[in-house]
Structure 1
Amino acid sequence: MPITIKKPKLKPLEERFCKSTIVCAVIAVGFVAMLFMFMNRIIETGNKFLTTAVFSVFILYFLSCVICAVMGAEAYRKEDSMSALGKCIIYIVNIIICLMNLRFALMLILAAFGQEDTVTRLIGSQGQEAFVKAQYVPWFSLLVGAMADLMICVFSSLKLIKNK
């Protein structure tokens, strides 16, 4: 008679963390899709509704990364989950990337609502066009971070499926 090896059950905090990573990835995909669809129109027309929508989803993405980082750290601390620690580190990097992009996001929302003097103070002596061109690296980092979120989502989904 063969010996059956029992799979260890997924611990409760790690399961909640895996579910939160899936939610964060959905928000990340939505955010990146909104950026690609609306950014040209926002820059050209300064549409308040589109700018507010993109800014709101950016803030939502930032907050979901913070929540995932905290939940990952908690799962590691209380349940000694090394995979949660690795994912938590990636979410901390995503938080830093979001903070790098916060100045650009604030510039967009303030420009859309006519706060030109505040925008000028925010971007400094360089012009708005030079400031936008200087944002390629932070926006590319944001895109890479969103792809990392998507990969984490796939791994978390597989972990949830295997342990059900």
Structure 2
Amino acid sequence: MNLDQQLQDLIDHAPQDGSTPQIMERVAPVIKTMAERLRHPQYYVVQTLDQSWVMLTLANRTQSDREKNVIYAFPTLQDVASSPYNVSDPSLIALPVPVTHILFQMLAMTQSDSTIFFETPGDVTIGTEIQRAEMEQLIQEGWQNQADADPQYNIPSDIA
């Protein structure tokens, strides 16, 4: 699936609660922009058998009291075997996930600080980091630009 198809799939499978599909349509341009920075249409993400994504806590090399939680995304299944994950653990599995789905899921995982996408098959030493805070900032800016351009996005001052 190309990026547009992936995004449409996210929108089509969003909960039909009256607002989520519209929110998805509004965040889709930011997700697409971030996905275009990456090389692959899908990556392998290590998950538990109940499909919870496995995060790693990384410590700062120079400031040991600073940590961040990351998700690793690999270009091939073989690269997962070279990762810090214990691939012999029967409770873990690596599954392919469309890149836009990873980025969207990252927004929902508040305990995750970023996702590191390994771009070169066979090399799990250098990756491209996408921070959740950066995505949130771009979404906020996009929503503000829409509100400035179209009054329907403005919240009425007498809403209470």
TM-score range, shorter chain: under 0.3
Please give the TM-score of this superposition, normalised by the length of structure 2: 0.27
Q: Which structure is larger by alpha-carbon Rg, 1 or 2?
A: 1
Between structures 1 and 2, the one with greater helix share? 1
TM-score by length of 1: 0.26
